[in-house]
Structure 1
Amino acid sequence: MPAAFSDPIWRKPKTVPAFQSELSSGGALDAIIVGGGIMGLSTALHAARAGLSVQVLEAGAIGQGASGLNGGQVIPGLKYDPEWLIEHFGAERGEALVDFAASTADAVFDLIRDEQLAVPFTRKGWIQAAHTETALKAAANRDRQWQARGADVSLLSQSEIAAMTGAKGYLGGWLDRRAGVIDPLSYTLELARVAAGSGAKIAEQQKVVKLAKEAGLWRVSTQGGTELRAKSVVLATNAYTDGLLPGLARTIVPLHSFQIATAPLPAELAASILPGGQAVSDSRRILVYYRKSADGRLVLGGRGSMALPSSASDWTHLERALLRLYPALAGIAIEKRWFGRVAMTPDHLPHLHEPEKCLLAVVGCQGRGVGLMSALGKRMASYLASGDARQLPFPLSPIRPIPFHAFRQIGVAATITWYRMLDAFER
């Protein structure tokens, strides 16, 4: 695929350190973390600060995967509302999970503040925009539940959402002021920097190809021939999960999230589009999400094809969505197009697995990965340090491959096409 068809807006600073040579030597480590995205790096940072010896092994480069390619929306909560979580998980665990879900955006913005991370960010909230009466009722129900827990949230009328977004076609919506936006690549790279500064070893270009347990320790082998030993292993590969742990890759459906960015908006347009700096996700079956970047571009993303893109036309559906929302942008150039891989679980919840003692795996971000994985990494580090499963917000569950997994992806692609057509009728 030509490089022009994967050209993200986010750019590595020239001063980014290289981690290629940061391999541990000597005896057994406390933990090896496979995957240098937000989940892996957050776990490494907090585990190192808890006094554990930690090695991160990243198959590519730090920030190369979805952690550095996403839209940078930092959204608290989960796909499900508090009452559902309590009903599904029971009163004690459900309430604890609601509290955890409420804290995930804080985990990001507190870290940026406390560590003085060089990460462009704005914390002005996130709007869930409703384009149907059904979506508006769901927003009112969500608002009622979070208001009862003291969250800084509110419903938006049709006139309020029009003023806050400048977009056309919404009946109302919901504003969560706990949320915000960041530059996700800068955040991922800064997580790596502070994790390394706290004692974690980080090695890029180290693809793990084999795990084996010997004499109570895990032996981790890389494609380049390196072998390391550790008491615990954490697989933090999410949508890039392969056959390293049997069955794990078949518990998720990997999807592509495509994004576009306009040229910097002229002042008169910038003043009318998201003037308060909020992020937005809409209520369509195949939703789009958008925000303004630090340099004044409008960045919009949504589901793309299951196949890898081969030309600029693979982003056409996003350009149509952009003009549906903002007809005034018809003359503004689309300067950047890129994509990343995300993971969907059948129940739309993160899954935590421990198929063997001290072998852990986490999959499933469900569109909230920046905050969710930052907060979950801290809890995972506490579990590594204490062995107390109560530190984990989600229960450990068995690995359950999706039946007929090979056909599930075909079905998802067909469903995306069908939902996109239904969405078009609801303009």
Structure 2
Amino acid sequence: MTVLLPPEAESLWAASAPAAPDLPALAGDLKVDTVVVGAGFCGLHAALALAGAGQSVAVLDAGSLGLGGSGRNGGVVSAKFRRSYRDIAASHGLDTARTMHEIAQASVVHLIATLQRFGLEAGFERTGALKCAHTEAAFAHAREEADWLRATLGERDLRVLDRQETEAETGSRDFCGAVLAGQGGVIQPLRYLRALAAAVAREGVAVHPRTPVLDLSERGAEVQLRVPGGTVTAGRVLLATNAYSSLTPATGRVRRMLVPFRSAMIATEPLPADLDAILCPKGRSYTETRRMMRWFRKVDGRLLFGGRGALGAVDAPAAFTRLEAAMRRIFPALEGIAIDKRWSGHVALTFDALPQAGKLSDRVFYAAGFNGTGVAMSGLVGHRMGQLIAGADPELSLILRARPPEVPFFGLRAVGVRGVTAWFEMLDALGR
């Protein structure tokens, strides 16, 4: 079987990260207590939890370390879900919203604790996250949401900024105001992933990149996974392949739970000193409130600008053209500044805009669907799924599903994504 891997991302991260640890592809047969399929943030944190519980563990990945979403995302560390806590409270009750809020906050704490535990150098800075409103109506909604979070969930690390303060924070006059959340931050994701993989290997976990799982079958008390170099036998399996679950049939059931959505990123050349001093001077992560949301941040004196809606082939020129036009509209001062890097990757969306994890059978588990907020969240969910597989009862609230969900009308998902994208882009153009 030929496995069609995505091309390596010619990203800002790849240009600045240390070399990946020298970890071999699997050659021969292997037997362990638990196999984790997918060496991203989720899978590696799950492996750490399992090894910490005394299990023998192997992590298998189809590509090189960081080829998937964990190595090519924007490096935004956030304590949130794509779905708002007010919406969760309305649908599932206030107690559940509080628990989900605690999980989100814990995800950032867990990431920081991991960096400290292993002494990982990953460029993490707890700079805060700024949500920038593109209309007065959006600003009013953001203020109301901040008031609700303070009054109902006890958030104290929120500050509302007016138009002038937002301009000083961003260097753009495009926003009516903003809400600053102090919990978030930024990280170099590929550097983090490679350092984490090396730490996992030092803990005695067998980490094997370039080892695609071609087939998975349950045979009595064991699960057998066929790889190009042999067979891996285990008592349990965790599928942590997220938006890249279509690479082989072995993760086909996870694939049917998700809608992959391309996210594109561009990075400017190093900015002149005068622009570097004005644009995003505090180094936070920044998002805007348009339906086709864009985000931006500064990295080593460059502006990194990203967004969703990159339909079609990976690294399609039209996606980057639209993204560059949006960047220059928000930041007119960048006229004449060249784009140095362009890359894209998949985000895994779910039908209810929340991550999902659980069991496909008594021996096969899964975790996926981080909806673009997974740098911290996927690590915590992986850690807690590792604990669950090892016999503990960690808190996962709405993330833990009683049965595997599937995307309705799965075969039409690409048509649906294109239709929703076109509709949202029209509404944004009208200022609605």
- Give 1:374 shift: 1.4
Is 1:215 matched up with 2:241? no
**In structure 2, what residue type is equivalent to 1:179?**
G
Alignment of 1:28-43 (within 5 A): 28-43=31-46
1:28-427 paired onto structure 2 within 5 Å: 28-90=31-93, 92-148=95-151, 149-222=154-227, 224-242=228-246, 243-293=249-299, 295-309=300-314, 312-388=317-393, 390=395, 394-426=399-431
Q: Is the 8 A contact 2:34 2:57 kept in 1?
A: yes
Partner SS for 1:285: coil
Residue pair 1:45, 1:191 contacting (<8 A) in 2 also: no
Q: Do the aligned residues in 1 keep the contact of 2:298 with 2:304 (CA within 8 Å)?
A: yes
Q: Could you tell me whether the CA contact under 8 Å between 1:221 and 1:228 is conserved in 2? A: yes
Deviation at 1:213, TM superposition (A): 1.5
Structure 1 residue 413, shift from structure 2 partner:
1.1
Counterpart CA distance in 1 for 2:252 and 2:265 is: 32
Tell me, yes or no, if the aligned pair for 2:20 and 2:65 is still in contact at 8 Å.
Answer: no
Q: CA 1:316–1:4 in 2, change beyond 3 Å: closer, same or farther? A: farther
Contact 1:75 1:368 in 2 (8 A): yes
Query: Could you state the TM-score of these two structures normalised by the residue count of structure 1?
Result: 0.92
Between the aligned partners of 1:393 and 1:45, the Cα distance in structure 2 is: 23
User: Contact 2:42 / 2:382 at 8 angstroms: preserved in 1?
Assistant: yes
1:87 positional shift: 4.3
Is the CA contact (8 Å cut-off) linking 1:45 and 1:194 kept in structure 2? no
Instruction: Give the partner amino acid of 2:98.
Output: E
How many residues are treated as equivalent by the alignment? 423
8 Å contact 1:383–1:391 — kept in the other structure? Answer: no
CA drift of 1:36 comes to: 0.8
> How far does residue 44 in structure 1 lie from its aligned partner after superposition?
1.1
Q: Structure 2 regions of 5+ residues with no counterpart? A: 1-5
Amino acid in structure 2 at the alignment position of 1:381: G
Residue 290 of structure 1 aligns with an amino acid whose one-letter code is F
Displacement of 1:142 after TM fit?
2.5
Q: CA RMSD in A?
A: 2.4
State the distance in 1 between where 2:61 and 2:230 align: 13
Aligned residues with identical type, % of pairs = 33
Instruction: Report the TM-score, using the length of structure 2 for normalisation.
Output: 0.91
- Decide which moves more: 127-136 or 269-278: 127-136
Deviation per CA, 1:333-381, whole angstroms, max 9, x where unpaired?
A: 1000000111111111111131211311112111211011111122112
How far apart in 2 are the matches of 1:314 and 1:83? 33
1:382/1:92 CA distance change after superposition, 3 Å: farther
Q: Deviation digits for residues 405-424 of structure 1, max 9, x if unmatched?
A: 22221121122123223222
Unaligned runs of 5+ in 1: none
Structure 2 CA distance for aligned equivalents of residues 404 and 82 of structure 1: 27
